[in-house]
Each structure stands twice: as C-alpha cells, then as structure tokens.
Structure 1
C-alpha cells in the first residue's frame, strides 16, 4: 500500500497469482458490493463511472496499437481494462501489469506531490490523465496512417487489392477506438459533478479535471472526423477500382472491334463461292488493302475517342 501523503493506494495486479482473492478480501474490508468486484475482475464492460455508498467505481480502457497484425485485415488495437475503486482517502486500482504498467502513473503522482496535490483526487487524475493522453497518442498514429493511405490512393499501391484490406483494417481499428474514447467524456463529466456522497473534486483540482474533460471531448471529436476520413478512403478506393475496371473493359472492347475488321474481311474473301477477284492476284491485293485500311481507320477513330 502506497500513495500520496493524504491518500493511500492499493494496486491489484491480476497477473499475480491470488490477486483475485486479494481483491475480494480487500473489498470485504472496505464494504464493497460483490457485483463491483465482479465488474473489476471482468474487465469487458464499457468505460463508465458508477456511484456507490461511500465510494466510486471507475472503469476505463487503455489503448495501444500492435506493430503487426496476424492478417492484413486483423485489427492491431490492444485494449487493457483498468478499474479503480475510489474512496475519500483510498484508491484501489485493478489491472494487469503486462498490459498497463503503472510506472508512468506513479511518476505523474510524484509530480503532483511536488506541486502540492496530496489527496485521492490527485491520484485519480494522474491515472485518468495517462489514459486520455494514451488515447490522444493513438489517434495521432491512426491519423498519420490515414494520411499515408490518402497519399497512396492515386498511386500504384492504390491499384493493388492489398490497400483495400489495409483500409478495412484501419476502419475497424477506428471503430474500436471510438467505442473506448467516446465514453471518456461521460466518465470525466461524472467526476466533475459534485455530490454529497462519495467522490468530490476539490476546488484546487477542478481546473485540471476540466482540462481533462476538454481533452476527452477533443479526442471524441477526432474519432468522428477520423471515421469519416477512413470511410471516404474506403469508398474512394472502391470507386477507383470500378473506374479502372471500366477502363480495362473499354480498351478490351476497342481492341475486339479493331480485330473484327480483318476477321470480317478474311471471312468474306474466304467464302467458297465465286466473287469479284476470286482466285486472282488483284483479289488478294483488294482484301489486303481492305484489312489494312479498315483496321487503321477504326483504330484511329477509337484512339481519338480514348477507347484504346
């Protein structure tokens, strides 16, 4: 157990053997409802804040992006659930250290001590600030990837089918990110609402919590804009593929028309009936001239119309 001078902190690392039992024992001492403990151990629920008698339950998602995915269309987004039981003078965090180490949060708390912030609200702010900053960094990374896809959209890479898979993967990651980022607005807003029971943000920290709420709101707006950009890239790439396919079909149809001229001429002169020039040198010259001139004329017409 550690923390700031005016607040205690207990960290439950679910990677440790027996951590779940440790949390249940602590919850029994602090009179926490079993359902709250089950929610903390579950870790799959939506980010939220719930008020209970004498304490808060805060659940958030820490997001990160893996370097590589199993397949081109698999999402690289990794979600690490973090729960916190917030008492007037005690903070209990529940997480997996392999997914979210608390080192940077502790550094943040040490800075708060130097700045004079010494209560549990400072502990909770340090935790949420790291989570929201991580969301902002992730969104910046996704935006950079979206810009790179836009640059490749009209290049050679845009002609390959692999770009469609990469765009689909990015769209999936944006949707998953949005599900975790949007509720953070409500989480911070709920903490800012002062109530008689449970957690209250002290006046000295209200400005910092308001900045956190503004950043969470900004992140939520960024997810909406990013989703529109990725959807636009996805749909534009499909449209470009259809346009390129139409161009190929048009050129094939044009060359088929050009080839039809010598086919028609040779078919006519290949009839097994007498006709002008049949079995004579000038008949051969006439057929050859018709093939050459007819093919050349049709080629020039189609070329002028940009069909071939």
Structure 2
C-alpha cells in the first residue's frame, strides 16, 4: 500500500498518482514529492531505490524492524528512523510505531512495516500548516518529527499521571497488593521503552538542524528549534519519572520492612508475656516439694503471680509501644 503527494511552488498540486510518475514530476525544479510505503516488499524498495538513488544499507535498515532512532547521512540522501508511541491507559503498557524516512533534496519517502503509525494524523498536520509548504522537504520532515515528538510528550504526561496514582497507593493499608505490583512493573517497562525511543531523538533533531545537511531553511529553523525543545523536555521528564518509579519502589520496600519489624516487635512482646505463666507453671510442675505443695493457697499464689507479672509486662510493652 502506498500514498503520495506532490507539492508545487508551496501548494498541494496532486495526490495518489502512479509511483512511476515520480521521475517525471521531479524534473520540475519547483516540485516536492512525498511517498509513503506501508509494508513494502524488497522488490518495492528496490524500485524506489532505483528511482531516487538510495543506498543499499539504508534500504536494508528501513526494511528491518527494531532499529534504534537515528540519523544517517549518505551521499544522496539522509535516513531518519523514529518511533511514535502510545500508552494504554488501562494497563499502563506502551506501544511503539516505527517509521523510517528517506530525505532527499526534493522528496520524502516514509516507510512503515505496519499500520501502527497514524499516517492520517501526519497528513492532517501538514494540511493544518500548509502555509509553510514552500519550505519543501524541510516542511514535510518537520511535520513527521513534530508528530513523533508530540506522541512522546503525551506518553510522558500520561505516565506521570499513572505514577502519581501509584504514589497514593503506596501509603494504603495494602501496599503489596498484586494489582499494584503489576502496575508498577508495567510502568517500569514502559519507561524503559520510552527512554530508548526518546533519548536518541535529541541527536536526530540536532543533527538535522546542522547547516551542512541543507534540510532546514531559515523559515523552518524556529519550528525545528521548537521540536528540539520538546525533545529535551520529554527526555528530562522521562529521566525524572524513571527516578520517581525507583523511589516509589524503595519506599514500598522500606514500608514493608517497617511493617515487618512492627509485627515482629508485637509478636515478641506477646511471646514474652506468654513466657511468664509458662515459667511459673513449669517451676511449680517440678516433682519436688515446694512452698504451697498440695495446698490450695499454693495454687492461688501461683495464679496471682502469673496474672500480676503478665499484666506488668503488658503495661510496660504498651507504654513503650511494643505491642
């Protein structure tokens, strides 16, 4: 499946034309072409490579999956690899959508392995800022990067809300609830995934803003700078959330240890109280004569001694908050 657009003199001139027309259309010096390929085969990519002169290793990277976000420069083009992300509010799991982009002086080719990446949202973003279309490929690439970085920012904000909910659950009566532990684990996994796709974007956007690439003109420079600022904010926010999740886990373990110590203290206190009558009855259970042996008053004396000693220990432990 493929979609395409032709911009001429900063205006949308044509859509969904035959791919074989691209060489003819690019003969016009004022023409800029966008081509999107979803799930292309090797033969499809070979045809596009022949049309635009793409390097073999860049085509191999675009067809592969799980590539890291990156910017590679070749003689005739650039290769940009990035990931849009989305957070499942119910489970807290993060899903990624990989997209690769070949950037030539007058053509942008986006390659997706599946339908996860919302290409319609990208087209809408271009239409909303059509007044910048005169900047050509720089305009098209900005829309792509802006969409990707905005998805990072939305995911970070949603994760922040989830983590605040976890903070409240830490101090409940059951901080070791299995559901909470599953949510905390999902948050950690999502943050690890988000960190992998967010942090390298700093190098990607910063590299595109270099003048030797000639992708960003003076008109688009402020917009790329805005995207770069968003990348930095998302990166810093991701790092802070990572530390926050680790802190929540540490607090949870500390509270668990404190509760265990409190329980052990109470159990030890009651064990000491129970040891008193055990010691008294054990003493009077010896098979030798003792004061009060075979006498009623001896039984009552031992009973009173057990009650008084137990009550004294209970009062002492209660006063020291041991039970």
TM-score (norm 1): 0.92
Whole-angstrom distance in 2 between the partners of 1:262 and 1:163: 44
Q: Does 1:293 align with 2:293?
A: no
Equivalence for 2:79: 57
List aligned pairs for 1:120-139, cutoff 5 A.
Answer: 120-139=137-156
Q: Superposition RMSD on alpha carbons, in Å? A: 1.7
SS in 2 for 1:158: coil
Please list the CA deviations of residues 142-192 of structure 1 after superposition, one character each: whole Å capped at 9, or x if unmatched: 100111111111112424354344323312221221111011111110110
Following superposition, the deviation at residue 141 of structure 1 comes to 0.6
8 Å CA contact 2:135, 2:220 repeated in 1? no
| 1:219 matches 2:234 | yes
Q: 1:31 aligns with which of 53, 57, 75?
A: 53
Tell me if structure 2 keeps the 8 A contact 1:66–1:76: yes
Looking at structure 1, the residues matched to 6 and 302 of structure 2 have their Cα atoms a distance apart, in angstroms, of: 99
Question: 1:9 pairs with 9, 17, 34, which one?
Answer: 34
Q: 1:50 aligns to what SS in structure 2?
A: strand
Match 2:43 to one of 21, 26, 29: 21
Residues 87 and 95 of structure 2 are in contact (CA less than 8 Å); yes or no, is this contact kept in structure 1?
yes
Q: Which residue matches 1:278? A: 293
Kindly state the Cα deviation for residue 234 of structure 1 after the two structures are TM-superposed.
0.9
* CA–CA separation in structure 2 for the residues paired with 1:279 and 1:19: 101
Which deviations, in whole Å up to 9, do the C-alpha atoms of 1:211-260 show, x marking residues without a partner? 01111111111111111111110111111111111111111111110110
1:150: which partner in 2? 167
Alignment of 1:251-270 (within 5 A): 251-270=266-285
Point out which structure has higher relative CO (alpha carbons under 8 A, 6+ apart).
Answer: 1
CA contact (8 A) 2:54 2:76 kept: no
Aligned to 1:109: 126
Query: Which residue of 2 is the match for residue 79 of structure 1?
Result: 96
Q: Distance in 2 between matches of 1:116 and 1:29?
A: 23
Cα distance between partner residues in 2 of 1:307 and 1:86: 71
Q: Does the Cα contact within 8 Å between 1:86 and 1:199 map onto a contact in 2?
A: no
After alignment, is 146-155 or 107-116 more displaced?
A: 107-116
**Unmatched 5+ stretches in structure 1:** 70-74
The answer to whether residue 40 in structure 2 is matched with residue 43 in structure 1 is: no
- Alignment partner for residue 180 of structure 1, among 169, 173, 197? 197
- In the alignment, the residues of structure 1 paired with residue 274 and residue 6 of structure 2 have an alpha-carbon distance, to the nearest angstrom, of 84
* Deviation of the 1:112 alpha carbon: 2.3
**Cα distance, 1:67–1:148 mapped onto 2, change above 3 Å:** closer
**2:217 aligned partner:** 202
Measure, in 2, the Cα distance between the counterparts of 1:222 and 1:201: 27
Count residues in correspondence: 298
Gaps of 5+ in 2: 9-30
TM-score (norm 2): 0.88
Q: Aligned residue for 1:72?
A: none
Shift of 1:98: 2.2
Is contact 1:157-1:163 (8 Å) kept? no
Correspondence list, 1:233-248, <5 A: 233-248=248-263
